[in-house]
A and B are shown apart, each in its own frame.
Chain A
């Protein structure tokens, strides 16, 4: 799993620019599915035909990042956030462009922390003039915080962007057990989640699932000063009941919890009061479906130091396999 995750972290995929990652994932998934297709928006749909109900699992490939909006006379770049960037967390970070070029994201001198937003930041790529900068980057190019991953104590990992390459890695790892899947199974690696839950909608329209299950990260209530939330790192896979974008299907959530209990997989129930997920898009696409989400507890979401627990990651993988193996 870590090998897969490390590989995914190396391929940039800011929302709208997922093509390279999609190509890589499609290639890796080929052996495990009957068909692997990339659709008009760039979603990767992997299908293993089977008897009975259609189950769709969906993890998003895209990561939050930035887009270059303007190149100043003196070679500094202006940018706009793509997705929910926290500029406090991003200030003074190294950033990487798709062509591998580095820069640093710096607030203008004298900017008060409360005024940290896109307009107040520039990227210094080392260029001395607009001409020099224009040879290296163009308006419209995307970049993201430098990716990283380190191991911490107690089997925890820390890095960026775990949202949602961790979900992608879990699905890719689960694909190894595809031979044992019941039902008609589609794995979707979706685009543009961070800019409005977009890719999952068109993917689910095509796949027409009976059950749609997102695989994405969720916040936790166990960080210092966190709002009360009944999800903790290390306490297992989180079965989503609700977030800001969706009320999950009650039948499906209960069924997932029963499967976890039967298989002895540790799980917790999740109600997220901030943030949305592809679950909402799956639920409403086409004629709609029963929708739910297996969430991976994640501390410090959307920062350069997102943190997850290996036990949770394993529990999520086990739960997804167990669901796919259960006749619906």
Chain B
């Protein structure tokens, strides 16, 4: 019983989870994922922990971490005239903000657009400047008074959410970073048969990755104390303007990171598993920092051997992040193989 990949990604992407707001979608998330897991453990950090047990006594614990949070904005001010000013949550690409459609998650979910100065009225050189977030105003159509009754300072704001299918197996939309990898983790858990499991599998859909310090995944890992961990997150796909030696190829399978701060034995184990099970895969090098939860996760408690398995996407940190579902499915197959009999060695 596997979920359909595109549907699963779209369902996960439809649950708003801007950093700091990960718990708002708990009910929707739990009912979506309940068929694939034995247990749900809420964590005060905001991280969602889903467990699938092998049923074996003293089975080793494999932690599969995908950060659940997404970049976005937060209301910092409501002007007299009825416009919203925002701060950015996580590393937004500021070049693509003017004229973007947004959703404001107040008492009701409101639709809004970010104001843009028409090209006719721009001054010489304006087109070369990247807009500052404090200069942007969101227009909802409401007047100041009505707006204030619906929206408060601190209300999260996200890009308009629509996941669209492109030709073939590609999809695009908001928060493919990191719902694509959340889907890969869930799909992996769904694919491994209980009777084949050599590990107890803990999937953490973790909070607050986009705002640094990996606090959500570290807190959950401290509670779980896994024997090994795999972090799954998105990476840069080869595209115009991205160098060949710093990107993965879309559709060519998950990208395994070789780094000074990840566990090479575990990574090589995963690479071998890809070979044995005919799962396409690629490697990349992250010399001293993976830029993912793995960098801090590996240091939790007495240390956790950690590997990074990434899914390549284009247009990262925009509202049209694009991913190939084939890569999600291959990553999932690898996770299922890792947790199963003949998979990773504890």
CB of B309 closer than 8 Å to a CB of A? no
**Among the listed A17, A39, A69, A202, which residue makes an inter-chain contact with B285, where contact means beta carbons less than 8 Å apart?**
A69
User: Which residues in A have their C-beta under 8 angstroms from that of B246?
Assistant: 69
Residue A201 CB within 8 A of the other chain: yes
Is A70 interfacial (CB-CB < 8 Å)? Answer: yes
Cβ–Cβ contact B285 & A68, under 8 A: yes
Asked if B155 is at the interface (CB within 8 A of a chain A CB), the reply is no
Assembled-state Cα–Cα distance A14/B244 (Å): 25
A189 to B283, CA, bound (A): 30
The residue in B262, B264, B303 that gathers the most chain A C-beta atoms within 10 A of its C-beta is: B303
Taken residue by residue from 11 to 34, chain A's Cβ proximity to chain B (1 for < 8 Å, 0 otherwise) reads as 000111101000000000000000
When distances are taken between beta carbons in the complex, the residues of chain B under 8 Å from A19 are 265
Residues in B neighbouring A198, C-beta threshold 8 A: 261, 298-299
| A139 interface neighbour in B285, B289, B298, Cβ under 8 Å | B285
CB pair A40 B288 closer than 8 Å:
no
Q: Range of interface residues on chain B?
A: 20 to 34
User: Which one of B264, B295, B305 lies within 8 Å of A40 (CB-CB)?
Assistant: B305
Nearest B residue (CB) for A17: B264
**In the complex, what distance in Å separates the CA atom of A206 from the CA atom of B293?**
22
Pick from A41, A70, A202: contact of B244, CB below 8 A. Answer: A70
Contact B299 A202 (CB under 8 A): yes
Asked if B74 is an interface residue, CB under 8 A from chain A, the answer is no
Contact A140 B261 (CB under 8 A): no
A140 touches B298 (CB 8 A): no
Return the CB mask of B278-304 against A: 1 if under 8 Å, else 0.
Answer: 000001010111000001001101111
Query: Which residue from chain B places its CB closest to the CB of A62 in the assembled complex?
Result: B260
Residues from chain A with Cβ under 8 Å of B265 in the complex: 19
A55 within 8 A of B: no
Q: Is B38 an interface residue (CB 8 A)?
A: no
The answer to whether B259 has its CB under 8 Å from any CB of chain A is: yes
| Smallest beta-carbon distance B98→chain A, Å | 33
Contact count A vs B, C-beta below 8 Å: 78
* B4 beta carbon closer than 8 Å to chain A: no
Task: Count A interface residues, CB 8 Å.
Answer: 31
Measured CB to CB, the closest approach of chain A to B269, in angstroms, equals 14
B245 at the interface (CB under 8 A from A): yes
Partner of B301, one of A139, A192, A202: A202
In residues 239-282 of chain B, which contact A (Cβ within 8 Å)?
Answer: 244-246, 258-265
In the assembled complex, the Cα of A40 lies from the Cα of B295 at a distance in Å of 15
A82 touches B288 (CB 8 A): yes
Q: What does the 1/0 interface line of A38-80 toward B look like (CB < 8 Å)?
A: 0111010000000000000000000000011110000000101
A205 cross-chain contacts in B, Cβ below 8 A: 301-303
**Alpha-carbon separation in the docked complex, A213 to B275 (Å):** 45
Q: Is the CB of A82 within 8 A of B302?
A: no
- Contacting B at CB under 8 A, from A130-185, are 139-140, 142
Q: With the chains together, A206 CA to B263 CA distance in Å?
A: 19
Contact indicator B303/A202 (Cβ below 8 Å): yes
A288 close to B (CB within 8 Å): no
- Determine if A221 is an interface residue (Cβ-Cβ < 8 Å): no
What residues on B are CB-neighbors of A195 within 8 Å? 260-261, 288-289
Per-residue CB contact flags for chain A residues 282-313 toward chain B (1 = under 8 Å, else 0) read 00000000000000000000000000000000
Asked if B287 and A81 sit within 8 Å, CB to CB, the answer is yes
Q: How far is the CB of B271 from chain A (nearest CB, A)?
A: 10
- List 23 interface pairs A-B (beta carbons < 8 Å), by A numbering: A14-B260, A16-B262, A39-B302, A40-B303, A41-B303, A41-B305, A67-B258, A67-B287, A68-B285, A69-B246, A70-B244, A70-B245, A80-B285, A80-B287, A81-B288, A82-B260, A82-B287, A192-B261, A195-B288, A198-B298, A202-B301, A202-B303, A206-B302
Q: Given A67-B258, A69-B287, A83-B260, 19 other A-B contacts at CB below 8 A?
A: A14-B260, A15-B288, A16-B259, A19-B265, A40-B305, A69-B246, A70-B244, A78-B245, A140-B283, A142-B260, A195-B288, A196-B261, A198-B261, A198-B298, A198-B299, A201-B299, A202-B303, A205-B301, A206-B302
Residues of A at the B interface (CB closer than 8 Å) are 14-17, 19, 39-41, 43, 67-70, 78, 80-83, 139-140, 142, 192, 195-196, 198-199, 201-203, 205-206
Residue numbers of B with Cβ under 8 A of A are 244-246, 258-265, 283, 285, 287-289, 295, 298-299, 301-305
